[in-house]
Amino acid sequence: MIQFSPCKINLGLSILAKRADGFHALETVFYPVGLQDIVEVVPAKLFAFSHTGISIPGDVSNNLCVKAYHLLKADFPEMGDVKIHLHKNIPMGAGLGGGSGDGTTVLILLNQLFDLKLTQKQLLDYAARLGSDCPFFIYNEACHATGRGEILEPTSIDLSNYTIALVHPGIHIATAWAFQQLSPCVKEKSIATIIKQPMNTWKSELINDFEAPVFKANPLLEKIKNNLYSQGAIYASMSGSGSSLFGIFPKGTKIESPADAAPLRVDHI
């Protein structure tokens, strides 16, 4: 079984407080975009995991695809072994949630392959155990997110009449480091309120808290954001804790890679 695994962008990201469990309370809107990994899960005599595309460093046992399999196997020991193959297109450390999407896709495929009959709520619970933003990929539609990112409410935001340019600057941002740079606080106006306003108000009000420290450490990223605005973006922002940036443009706008930021890739989504 093969499934395309999408990524997401964040429309605003407020870090509100440090929780007693070590996580952070946040508010954001997750929005799916069309850059995708490819996940294949097939029955096998022995469990195996392989990957192609963008290199995946580190211990294979830490990969969320592998963790997803073992998470379900613990509760469904009758599940057979499988071979999981991941073709990686979504860059890592880029604030796009690619790894979370991949792990969640494995949950979905295993549920289908072994007819586990897991409900959406059960899949959401398993996804939340994988990672804070994993439950979003069960919905895979625009969602307002609170808690540590796992409390989700689908929202009617629709950007299909716009062009989204997604820029990958090739810089890896460590999420743990990024969180250490922040001083969490409750904002005067919620993202839920701002996102309902006309998009031309988002530039001044819809803020990603990670931008200030990440831009300070990596000035190139701020240049890229400013370049997106200079090319006519209605709204531009960094996604997650970085380093990917995106611009929302009038439909059909042609966007060029910023000249001072090569190597880059701009996806018109």
Distance of CA 242 to the CA centre of its chain: 10
8, 37, 88, 209: which is the annotated catalytic residue?
A: 8
Other C-beta atoms lying within 10 Å of the C-beta of residue 263: 8
CA distance 119 to 100: 19
Please say whether the beta carbons of 86 and 49 come within 8 A: yes
The CA-atom distances, in angstroms, between 14 and each of 146, 173, 187, 268 are: 10, 18, 8, 26
Is 133 a catalytic site residue?
A: yes
Examine the residue annotation and report whether 251 is marked as an active-site residue of this protein. no
Catalytic choice (102, 133, 209, 225): 133
Identify which of 44, 36, 6, 41 has the alpha carbon closest to the alpha carbon of residue 111.
41
Is residue 84 within 8 Å of 69, Cβ to Cβ? yes
DSSP characters over 177-218: HHHHT------SS-HHHHTTS-GGGHHHH--BTTHHHHHHH-
State the catalytic residues. 8, 133
